A and B are shown apart, each in its own frame.
Chain A
């Protein structure tokens, strides 16, 4: 009797499975099914999902638009800037004159400490100071808090993207965040580490004040310096600056050019965390007050005398990449001992892959706020380019072929200079470009809004989502609108100014797609008698399987009782 019912259950399971398959797609059971019955009836594909709710930011979140005009502060002529959020001109003046030489009201409009840039003594009598003391601190961005889950001080490279990072920053005063309620980093604490400018022949005292919780040094890559105590290598020239300590670097660079400074402690970790910046030695010229820091890189609002002799304007452009499996480690623990182990011993850079690609500390679309290169026709623009990534940069300018005038701070013989549209820059290499906007079909193809980006395609994405990465634009000023953005003839960019887009929640062409051709697809719904039958059959199948399980249990139970009885007898 029991065997009979089990057999019945197994049979019904087979029959029900076959029925379910038949209802789902008969051609699975018999491939020529439709040849006999004619074609299957039309089934409408599922409807699209409703469009995602986007939290759109303003494309230009301007704070001090008045800072865009040109200024004269304390006798310093500060060029106009077209950036959405330009550099604070008072801070530029303090960097040019020295924080010791500006009046208190100017210093109060900055967030610099009184001793961050001290300039004294015109030793060669050429009208500019020659003893320069520069103080830099080490700041963490998007670090962990033991009190809450948000990161502090917070810094977004693109909408909603907050990778951990470390930077060298000019010595500042006051809070690292905007205030106690707004935990965004103050404007001095940002990627990239601030470019530093000095004049050839200056007595430069660069003081590293290690405000960070790990040891650091500064290696002056390519900058003329003596070896002892100055090379920044903890295995050779000096001891590391431990937390709370400082190290004094004394240099008198003889050769001018675009160089680099970076931390040389656990270089593969510390450099990639962001402790790298441009270090520019300007030619020694009379009355040459150079802008010691260019916070956030980008346009130099007070170019040196030497640069202005040949160029109308100058841009610092620092390319970086971020591997979140390294950078975000600082968000995993508040205990520096655990972090040191995870970063130095567990993280393996040979297995690393870069996720984010930055130009001057931001990825597209935030590059549009800070890193537009705005030009007029027939102008020479100097660009100092640093590749801070671990891969070769294949920088490409749309609409222009620029000339490489210098490699690693050494001028190229003018006869041998190369004009091209893909500039390969090795890791840690610097090139100086002359972007000449003459519409001659070679140097420029005419006015417009022209992209500038790394042509290694991963670098135009943010963790695989495009457009992102280090994409920026060369914009002819007649295309600039009053919001400090380029007026383009292309698609609406507003969808990119949302965290949802970079989380991959928004169809890529959403703003252009009025028909909804490429919307996200919804799921299948129960909408035909076949679907209804299929679900009922599947339910029956579940019931039969349950009964089979029950039969198995009773069988095992009965057997165990039998065994027990036999043993107790």
Chain B
């Protein structure tokens, strides 16, 4: 038993690689693609480097979020090899996961980078030939909902995704109370009066 234990101990540190998977005590990169051309691409048009940082630091800019990415939108050219550098700045697990990619290139349509703790890793994929907007997020429970959501726009994209911090609004809206400061209240009153007086004005004008 103890011998087996020692042999098995060494194995994970050997950084075992699967066909499309690299995994170790640092994290994993799954479903990379640098070889196969997406349908409709004649060649790889170029190589582009992007860096994405993940951490609570990036939530500061967007009130009501707790986690965030350094960038919440990536506009990428078609048929281009994208080398992603993913940096985790927190002391917990974070992911950068792109969904909806062609399933013949990426099982389940997913390109997935994950870091178990602070650190960085690299991974690559090739953008498809069609205009489309893809969801990128961290799927640790509630991380996307609390700010770790980005969109990857290939070509002209296919419209914004909902609730991307700094880009689009919520579909299932949070409701807030009204700010009771003098400035806000007086502005609201002025606008209400404007509406009321315009209505009265038309009424009087029509009578004449």
Using a CB–CB distance below 8 Å, which chain A residues touch chain B? 74-75, 97, 99-104, 107, 113-115, 120, 122, 127, 129, 137, 139-141, 143-149, 152-153, 171, 173-177, 179-180, 185, 189, 209-213, 242-246, 287, 333-338
Contacts and interface: CB of A to CB of B under 8 A. Distances in A.
Interface in B64-121: 64, 66-67, 90-93, 97, 99-100, 108-110, 112, 114, 116
Given A101-B8, A103-B11, A146-B163, A246 B170 contact: no
B140 interface: yes
Contact of B93 (A137, A147, A148): A137
B140 A75 contact: no
B110 to A, nearest CB: 8
Given A146-B145, A153-B141, A174-B112, A246 B92 contact: yes
Q: Closest 10 interchain pairs by CB?
A: A244-B90, A335-B64, A146-B163, A146-B170, A176-B141, A213-B66, A244-B56, A139-B141, A175-B139, A209-B92
Contact of B92 (A137, A145, A149): A137
Interface stretch (B23-31, B124-132, B193-201): B23-31
A179 B8 contact: no
Nearest to A330: B142
Contact of B174 (A115, A189, A210, A335): A335
Given A137-B140, A147-B170, A337-B64, 9 more contacts: A97-B5, A144-B172, A146-B145, A147-B163, A176-B142, A243-B56, A243-B66, A244-B67, A245-B90
B93 to A, nearest CB: 6
A174 B140 CA distance: 8
B141 A245 contact: no
B12 interface: yes
B171 interface: yes
A552 B173 CA distance: 48
B116 A104 contact: no
Contacts, number: 147
Interface string B2-20: 1011001101100010000
Interface in B140-168: 140-143, 145-146, 162-163
A95 to B, nearest CB: 14
6 contacts: A100-B25, A103-B8, A107-B12, A176-B141, A189-B141, A336-B146
B116 A74 contact: no
Nearest to A153: B141
Given A114-B116, A146-B174, A244 B92 contact: yes
B55 interface: yes
A102 B145 contact: no
Nearest to A207: B91
Contacts of B178: none
A211 B141 contact: yes
B1 interface: yes
Contacts of A127: 1-2
B171 A74 contact: no
A211 B92 contact: yes
Contact of B1 (A75, A174, A338): A75
Contacts of A179: 108
A176 B140 contact: yes
Given A137-B92, A144-B172, A334-B174, A75 B143 contact: no
B142 A143 contact: yes
Given A97-B8, A114-B23, A145 B139 contact: no
A273 to B, nearest CB: 13
Nearest to B100: A180
Contacts of B108: 179-180
Interface of B: 1-2, 4-5, 8-9, 11-12, 16, 23-25, 27-28, 55-56, 63-64, 66-67, 90-93, 97, 99-100, 108-110, 112, 114, 116, 139-143, 145-146, 162-163, 170-176
Given A137-B93, A179-B108, A244-B67, A211 B143 contact: yes
Q: Is the interface of B mostly helix, strand, loop or mixed?
A: loop
Of B9, B25, B97, B162, most A-chain CB atoms within 10 Å: B9
Contacts of B114: 173-174
Nearest to A179: B108
B5 A101 contact: yes
B141 A140 contact: yes
A149 B172 CA distance: 6
Nearest to A335: B64
Contacts of B12: 99-100, 104, 107, 114
Nearest to A129: B5
B91 A104 contact: no
Nearest to B114: A173
A244 B92 CA distance: 6
B64 A336 contact: yes
A127 B3 CA distance: 11
B25 to A, nearest CB: 4
B92 A210 contact: yes
Contacts of B67: 213, 243-244
B139 A213 contact: no
A102 to B, nearest CB: 6
Contacts of A242: 56
Nearest to A167: B141
A114 B4 CA distance: 18
A178 to B, nearest CB: 11
A493 B10 CA distance: 51
Contact of B9 (A101, A175, A212): A101
B142 A244 contact: no
A453 B175 CA distance: 41
Nearest to B161: A147
A75 B4 contact: yes
Question: Which one of B28, B112, B140, B163 has the highest number of Cβ atoms from chain A below 10 Å of its Cβ?
Answer: B140
A246 B91 contact: yes
B92 A114 contact: no
Contacts of A337: 63-64
B172 A145 contact: yes
A361 to B, nearest CB: 15
A104 B174 CA distance: 44
Contacts of A185: 141
B169 to A, nearest CB: 9
B92 A213 contact: no
Nearest to B13: A100
Nearest to B109: A180
A113 to B, nearest CB: 5
Contacts of B109: 180
A519 B9 CA distance: 64
Contacts of B141: 139-141, 143, 153, 176, 185, 189, 211-212
Nearest to B64: A335
Could you say which of B24, B99, B114, B174 has the most chain A C-beta atoms within 10 Å of its C-beta? B174
